[in-house]
Amino acid sequence: MSLALKSNPIAPSHVYHPAPCRSTRRLSAVVCFSVRPASATSSLGVSRAANEEEKAARIGSLGQVSGVLGSQWGDEGKGKLVDILAPHFDIVARCQGGANAGHTIYNAEGKKFALHLVPSGILNEETLCLIGNGVVVHLPGLFKEIDGLEANGVSCTGRILVSDRAHLLFDFHQVVDGLREAELSKSFIGTTKRGIGPCYSSKVIRNGIRVGDLRHMDTFPQKLDLLLSDAASRFEGLNYGPEMLKEEVERYKRFAERLEPFIVDTVHVMNESISQKKKILVEGGQATMLDIDFGTYPFVTSSSPSAGGICTGLGIAPRVIGDLIGVVKAYTTRVGSGPFPTEILGKGGDLLRFAGQEFGTTTGRPRRCGWLDIVALRYCCQINGFSSLNLTKLDVLSDLPVIELGVAYKHPDGTPIKSFPSDLRLLEQLKVEYEVLPGWKCDISSVRSYSDLPKAARQYVERIEELVGVPIHYIGVGPGRDALIYK
């Protein structure tokens, strides 16, 4: 390999070049139309059959307790993989986060479902969905989600369990979230304003209210009064008084009655299920680069979306965890504030955003877009110990004449940076070294066998595997359930 400045708009594969200032990077694309030859059409059935065989082998080899986790800044497409894997598992469990997670899935008829608290296994009628102790639960949102599923023919009766140890997220937490962001002004985090951070704050300072407290409505008013009074003393914009407390108590009496059939000791359920050899799939919310410890702090979420959050969020031992699948988009996106080394600014970022329909499931906010960051991905793989990766949205790159990979970081003085740094100032100033690969410039959305992908697309996949040292076993080429290649 050779080092060179990018001078040709279509550079050869495996040529590195230093990144110019990110504000000047642009993404160019060409529009192409592809026609599948008759021979390819006739072999489509064979390819699909081969893909089904590979699917059975891949899914069948997954461990008893497996997990699907995000390996960028979220929005990678975790829900789709969970939905596909769910029929092969007895339980799908959420271990952290709350309604700030937005998982978009499609049923067999192509109907779209946007889930936030309910695990993405809900569309498979044989799957039990479990909300673990590490999740913060907004009951109005949960019931709205359940009602929406039921109205669309998805039965939730007896299929959703909620941990008695999970913390309740109240409407006032959402108000506080907005007030806190307003206080931060130009240094705002860019939260979803769903109250996640304030709820976890209540949990950590030990005045939070748990789901199990709804079973003791004699002491619930006092606990809620303490919680609301504390928040009101901190934020002048929160108007709290006796009438508000009375209304909330009455409201939660009704919620408690409705929720009672869902409440269980999920720690017991999980460990009993493991001893009974039932198969469990853990669905992560957000992603490792948003982890409270390992992400771009403070521009992170308030929980641990990395592998460690599985044990603390479900009450299971590390030794029982088998395969962990990291979900990574074929490029990189993030929502909210914070450093983003490979971000494409200007019209180039807009082009990728609209091609990939990069708008938040939870908020509708436009996502920031950039090239795939190998340094960040390798860092996520190290933290989580992924056994394999799911590369999503490969089809979105189909029209690009060239594709870039951010393969290395350098200090402003030219010194190589060996890992993903914690220093935000350094992250904002570092230089990204890019590798330019040829594009394939044709539609791949109907491809179902890895061998049928264009050579350039396979080169891209295999180069990512080589750089991060983790195999890519699942490749997304469209939003539908069947638009997945098993490698």
Q: What is the pTM of this model?
A: 0.88
Does the structure show a pLDDT above 90 at 292? yes
CA–CA separation, 124 vs 187, rounded Å?
42
* pLDDT averaged over every residue in the chain: 88
Query: pLDDT tens, 106-149?
Result: 888 888 888 999 999 999 999 999 999 999 999 999 999 999 99
Angle between helix 139-151 and 242-259 (nearest 10): 40
What does the domain layout of the chain look like in residue ranges? 1-61+326-487, 167-260
CA–CA separation, 188 vs 380, rounded Å?
25
Mean pLDDT of 366-372: 95
Q: Which two tokens stand for residue 425?
A: 């100032």
pLDDT bin (cut points 50, 70, 90) of residue 406 is very high
Return the closest-CA partner of residue 66 out of 46, 89, 50: 89
The verdict on domain 167-260 having CATH code 1.10.300.10 is: yes
| Catalytic residue list | 75, 103
pLDDT bin (cut points 50, 70, 90) of residue 4 is very low
Pairing of strands 112-115, 103-106: antiparallel
pLDDT bin (cut points 50, 70, 90) of residue 362 is low
CA–CA separation, 170 vs 460, rounded Å?
45
SS3 per-residue string spanning the chain: CCECCCCCCCCCCCEEEECCCHHHCCCCCCCCCCCCCHHHHHCHHHHHHHHHHHHHHHHHCCCCEEEEEECCCCCCCHHHHHHHHHHHCCEEEECCECCCCCEEEECCCCCEEEECCCCHHHHCCCCEEEECCCEEECHHHHHHHHHHHHHCCCCCCCCEEEECCCEECCHHHHHHHHHHHHHHHHHCCCCCCCCHHHHHHHHHCCCCCEHHHHHCCCCHHHHHHHHHHHHHHHCCCCCCCHHHHHHHHHHHHHHHHHHHHHEECHHHHHHHHHHCCCCEEEECCCCHHHCCCCCCCCCCCCCCCCCHHHHHHHCCCHHHCCCEEEEEECCEEECCCCCCCCECCCHHHHHHHHHCCCECCCCCCECEEECEEHHHHHHHHHHHCCCEEEEECHHHHCCCCEEEEEEEEECCCCCEECCCCCCHHHHHHCEEEEEEEECCCCCCCCCCCHHHCCHHHHHHHHHHHHHHCCCEEEEECCCCCCCEEEC
Return the closest-CA partner of residue 394 out of 438, 457, 349: 457
Percent of the chain at pLDDT > 90 equals 73
pLDDT bin (cut points 50, 70, 90) of residue 364 is confident
Query: pLDDT tens, 8-24?
Result: 222 333 333 333 333 33
**Which architecture does CATH list for 1-61+326-487?**
Alpha-Beta Complex (3.90)
Q: Distance from CA of residue 20 to its chain's centroid?
A: 30
Q: Which two tokens stand for residue 35?
A: 């026609």
Percent of the chain at pLDDT > 70 equals 89
Half-sphere exposure of residue 186: CA atoms within 13 angstroms, side-chain side:
0
CA–CA separation, 82 vs 48, rounded Å?
21
Tokens 């056994």 correspond to: 387
Does the structure show a pLDDT above 90 at 447? yes
CA–CA separation, 413 vs 411, rounded Å?
5
Query: pLDDT tens, 144-179?
Result: 999 999 999 999 999 999 999 999 999 999 988 888
Does the structure show a pLDDT above 70 at 234? yes
Q: Which two tokens stand for residue 6?
A: 């990018």
Mean pLDDT of 459-477: 98
